[in-house]
Structure 1
Amino acid sequence: MSPKVTGSLLIAAAVLANLAFTALGSLFNYPDVLDEPAGEVLRSFRAHEGAVSAWFSVLALSAALFAPIAIGVRRLSAAPAMRIAVWVGIAAAVVQVIGLLRWPILVPGYAADGNADAFRTASDILGTAIGETLGYALTAAWTLLVLRALGRAFAGTWFVALGTVAAGLVAVGVISPLDLPVVDDANFIGYVLWSLWLIAFGVVLLVRGRRAVAAP
């Protein structure tokens, strides 16, 4: 893939994710709705099933884009860290897609049957353990590996600083199941900053065209 395509995918992934997250927050009170009892979550889902399923599909699409993004970014550097990053990025895409697609694929059946126990099990395994915990860890790791490979020479100190702070705050989400204070807020801020970093990354690639930077 050319840097132009990679840059476009970076921007598209960030925009789609934020559109979907905003829509789900408005329609479904997501993610706060997950703090309610399983039965209440299923009733809320049933009330807007079509739209909620569609927006979760968009969110899954934005996560899936990180497989080709990881491959495209790999072409920017021959550093050892980047060779690891490509597989970490693909893994991050896979686990997040698995976690998110439970909503349009499995949850409609749970909502129709009122099967709160199955919903909780799917949420704990596919959502919390795989999609979120592994997703946070792999996303943060991919970001840090890419920054290590590209270094400050790629776009300057601001690019490294923004990505590092964002990755650190995203990684905090790994301990979210412990229900510690400010963890969820820190993770949310991390994803906002990470979205800005992705867009900035994409813009740099689009502006620079085919110019690639090798790691020191």
Structure 2
Amino acid sequence: MTTDHTSRTATRLGGAALITATLLFAAVFVYLAKAFGYPGVLDQPAAEVLPRLLALGSTGRAVWVVYGLVPLLLLPTAFGVYAAGRQAAPQTVQVAARVAVVLAVLSAVSMMVGLLRWPSLHWELARAYAESAPPAREAITALFRASNSYLGNFIGEFLGELFLNAFFLVAAWVLRRASGPTAAARWLLRAGVAASLLGSVAMLRNAWPGLDTVAMLNNNVLPLWMLLLGLALWRHRPQAAA
């Protein structure tokens, strides 16, 4: 198997992985919005959130697990970006392709930590809350708030989205340089810069509640950008370095 063929396979798999992640993200988001009131319910107190979480049942818990594992699809996507850039010139493109892999790993781990707390830690908190007397519920509420702040807001949302936006920006630049001076590549980079800047502002929503509108806009733009990047990876033709 030639190097070009291997790179082509990697970019196609990377594109397919990101497209799949987009579709799964959209499907899970719609389900949780209808069944759980997500994401608005996250701003409610434990007395409301935990009973509603437990009411999702085994199906809802499985959906949360799927949601928490979706970020793993960033890894084949990152290797697709790496395959696109490793044969490109100059050397800075190859270095950026390696950086993209690191950013994807950091983002995937961070987001998984944040999301998987719902079918694990929070699920057990919901069970304990339903069976506990008021004094014990106060302690459960305190733990729920702490885990939301640390695992959710800081690690899952802030760090996860920080690394994700950086990955998207680097990936768009790598594909732009690896594809040559085409109009499509230039527009891909512009879209990547815009999406990353929007996401970088939206990730500050927990510190500045006034950014809720920006966060809602980002929730709509993000899937479109992921599809665009996935299609660009799928269609990419590796070019040998000069």
TM over 0.5: yes
Establish whether residue 98 from structure 1 lines up as the match of residue 113 from structure 2. Answer: yes
Establish whether residue 157 from structure 1 lines up as the match of residue 186 from structure 2. Answer: yes
2:123 counterpart (108, 123, 132): 108
2:187 partner amino acid: W
2:152 counterpart (108, 127, 145): 127
1:59 partner amino acid: Y
Query: Equivalent residue for 2:220?
Result: 192
Q: Could you tell me how far apart the structure 2 residues matched to 1:117 and 1:39 are?
A: 11
1:177 positional shift: 1.6
1:202 positional shift: 2.2
How many pairs does the alignment contain? 213
2:204 counterpart (175, 183, 191): 175
Say which is worse superposed, 171-180 or 118-127, in terms of deviation.
171-180
Q: Could you tell me how far apart the structure 1 residues matched to 2:29 and 2:233 are?
A: 25
Whether contact under 8 Å (1:43, 1:111) holds in the other structure is: yes
What is the root-mean-square deviation in Å for CA atoms of aligned residues? Answer: 2.1
* Change in 2 beyond 3 A, CA 1:153/1:72: closer
Q: Could you tell me how far apart the structure 2 residues matched to 1:5 and 1:212 are?
A: 14
* Change in 2 beyond 3 A, CA 1:3/1:108: same
1:12 counterpart (15, 20, 30): 20
Q: Deviations over 1:31-55 (max 9, x none)?
A: 1001111111111112213233222
Alignment TM-score, normalising by the size of structure 2: 0.81
1:157 positional shift: 2.8
2:171 counterpart (125, 131, 146): 146
- The structure number with the bigger radius of gyration is 2
**Unpaired stretches in structure 1, ≥5 consecutive residues:** none
Query: Equivalent residue for 2:4?
Result: none
Whether contact under 8 Å (1:150, 1:215) holds in the other structure is: no
Alignment TM-score, normalising by the size of structure 1: 0.90
State the SS of the aligned residue for 2:229: helix
Say which is worse superposed, 65-74 or 129-138, in terms of deviation.
65-74
Q: Could you tell me how far apart the structure 1 residues matched to 2:119 and 2:230 are?
A: 29
**Unpaired stretches in structure 2, ≥5 consecutive residues:** 1-8, 87-92, 130-139
* Change in 2 beyond 3 A, CA 1:83/1:152: closer
Q: Deviations over 1:55-74 (max 9, x none)?
A: 22121121111122212221
Whether contact under 8 Å (1:38, 1:116) holds in the other structure is: yes
Say which is worse superposed, 151-160 or 81-90, in terms of deviation.
151-160
Q: Deviations over 1:96-147 (max 9, x none)?
A: 0111111111112100111222211111111111000001111111111112
2:185 partner amino acid: G
Whether contact under 8 Å (2:81, 2:175) holds in the other structure is: no
Establish whether residue 26 from structure 1 lines up as the match of residue 34 from structure 2. Answer: yes
State the SS of the aligned residue for 1:65: helix
1:14 positional shift: 0.7
Q: Deviations over 1:169-200 (max 9, x none)?
A: 1111332122331x233123224323212212
Q: Could you tell me how far apart the structure 1 residues matched to 2:199 and 2:79 are?
A: 22
Whether contact under 8 Å (2:203, 2:215) holds in the other structure is: no
Q: Could you tell me how far apart the structure 2 residues matched to 1:178 and 1:205 are?
A: 34
1:75 positional shift: 0.9
